[in-house]
Amino acid sequence: MAIQGLVLAAFILAAKATTVVSAASLVTFIFGDSLTEVGNNNYLQYSLARSDFPWYGIDYSGGKATGRFTNGRTIGDIISEKLGIPPPPPYLSLSKNDDALLKGVNYASGGAGILNDTGLYFIQRLSFDDQIECFKKTKESITTKIGAEAANKLCNEAMYFIGIGSNDYVNNYLQPFLADGQEYTPEEFVKLVITTLDNQLTRLYQLGARKVAFHGLGPLGCIPSQRVKSKTGKCLKRVNEWVLGFNSEVKKLIATLNHRFPNAKFAFADTYGDVLDLIDNPTAYGFKVSNTSCCNVDTNIGGLCLPNSKLCSNRTDYVFWDAFHPSDKANEILAEKFFSTLFSGPPSIAPKPSP
């Protein structure tokens, strides 16, 4: 997995650090959609984008659904394990004055997008704008606890992981009954999304974010929910071309932000090639099936793994858990690739960021 532009490792690689801090002092803030959610939507009473029911979580610690959209762990969970820190808790599970806010928070929400109208038919979800507003409230609570100077320092030194944009295509532009797909050409749509993202990342910077990694989109044309639209069952080439165009524009935006804010480091994590290789060559990674999901889902009614769904006999044989999300085993492989790219030194230490 390539890290384009200014390398995120510049502020997290222990091998290049002059001073180090323990993993226990690492603070991470996570923003995103169902690929990184850990349970925020459980607290949204009317949300239709939920996974707090069987068979989600069947391979997670305790074997129960937590709100993660997979059978086990997310990529974020696995990276946290490697860093030696617990996964940040869902924002909506915390009280306003919870001490856990000082150690990092996960704001990710299933169905969320960069655009506020993405995923409208899920009724409730935290859009990226909503998540940034939640982070603003988090910073206000932290300021109340430890004072403005210490709060600014904490936010400046924290690491921000953002993975969002898939739903802007899968649950917006690619839906024929929604306005955006009719109103915009692919070029116009990506311009709208990137302009919005520019404003959002700028706002995060203004709130104190200085170490930011944005995860690019994978080959959405190859996920089961899209492949069923092909008469041959193959990946949708046009969708993948749009995704590559989006990733290309985000890379340019990241370069612009690094020039605009020289005291910050923004990085683009390109996941596309690794995910595509996993799908194209599943046996090389120990899988048997990559064109459909372990959970026998009905893509006509959402593609999630419902309690009455039939599961495959061996969950480790499948790259995909449901019509949209990787399995625990696939997440483990992708997290390992991501981690090995970002970290060359021992995962237990990280450099002290510059002010």
Confidence of residue 10 (pLDDT cuts 50, 70, 90): low
> Tens digits of per-residue pLDDT, 254-307?
999 999 999 999 999 888 999 999 999 999 999 999 999 999 998 777 899 999
**Token digits for 152?**
């600014």
**What residues act catalytically?**
34, 322, 325
Q: What pLDDT does 41 receive?
A: 98
Percent of the chain beyond pLDDT 90?
A: 84
Q: From CA 189, how far away is CA 262, in angstroms rounded?
A: 29
Q: Enter the tokens of residue 142.
A: 């932290």
Per-residue tokens: 248: 């290309």
**Contact indicator for 289, 307 with CB cutoff of 8 Å:** no
Q: Helices then strands (H, E): number in the chain?
A: 10, 10
Q: pLDDT grade, residue 17 (50/70/90)?
A: very low
What DSSP string describes 280-318? H-GGGGT-SEEEEESSB--GGGT----TTPBPPS-GGGE
Q: Is 344 a residue whose pLDDT tops 70? A: no
Could you tell me the end-to-end alpha-carbon distance of the chain, in angstroms, rounded to an integer? 28
At 1, the pLDDT band (50, 70, 90 cuts) reads: very low
Instruction: Provide the pLDDT for residue 83.
Output: 84
Q: How many other C-beta atoms can be found within 10 angstroms of the C-beta atom of residue 284? A: 9
Cα separation, 74 vs 350, in Å, equals 22
| Ramachandran angles phi, psi of 291, nearest 5° | -100, -5
- Tens of pLDDT along 140-165? 999 999 999 999 999 999 999 999 99
Q: What is the pLDDT of residue 189?
A: 98
Question: Residues 309, 241: contact at Cβ < 8 Å?
Answer: no
Least confident of 2-6, 121-125, 228-232: 2-6
Residue 82 pLDDT class (50, 70, 90 cuts): confident
The neighbouring-strand residues paired with 213 are: 161, 267
Share of residues in the chain with pLDDT > 70 (%): 89
Answer for the pair 72, 60: CB distance below 8 angstroms, yes or no: yes
Q: How confident is the model at residue 341 (pLDDT cuts 50, 70, 90)?
A: low
**CA 127, CA 219: separation in Å to the nearest integer?**
22
pLDDT band at 352 (very low <50, low <70, confident <90, very high): very low
Give 8's pLDDT tier (boundaries 50, 70, 90). Answer: low
Q: Give me the pLDDT at residue 195, please.
A: 98
Taking only the tens place, the pLDDT of each residue in 178-208 is 999 999 999 999 999 999 999 999 999 999 9
pLDDT band at 24 (very low <50, low <70, confident <90, very high): low
- Mean pLDDT throughout 313-334? 97
* pLDDT tens sequence across 103-143: 999 999 999 999 999 999 999 999 999 999 999 999 999 99
User: In which element (H, E) is residue 238 found?
Assistant: helix 237-260
Look at the alpha carbons of 147, 213, 78, 91 in this order and tell me if their dihedral is positive or negative: positive
Q: Of residues 299 and 100, which shows the higher confidence score? A: 100
Kindly report which listed range (94-108, 246-260, 300-314) carries the lowest average pLDDT score. 300-314
| For residues 4-11, average pLDDT | 47
Task: Evaluate whether 275 touches 291 at the Cβ level (below 8 Å).
Answer: no
Per-residue model confidence (pLDDT) at position 301:
73
> Which whole-number Å values give the CA distances from 265 to 8, 118, 201, in the listed order?
7, 28, 12
Side chain identity, residue 85: I
What separation in angstroms does the CA of 345 have from each of 265, 326, 348, 350?
20, 28, 9, 8
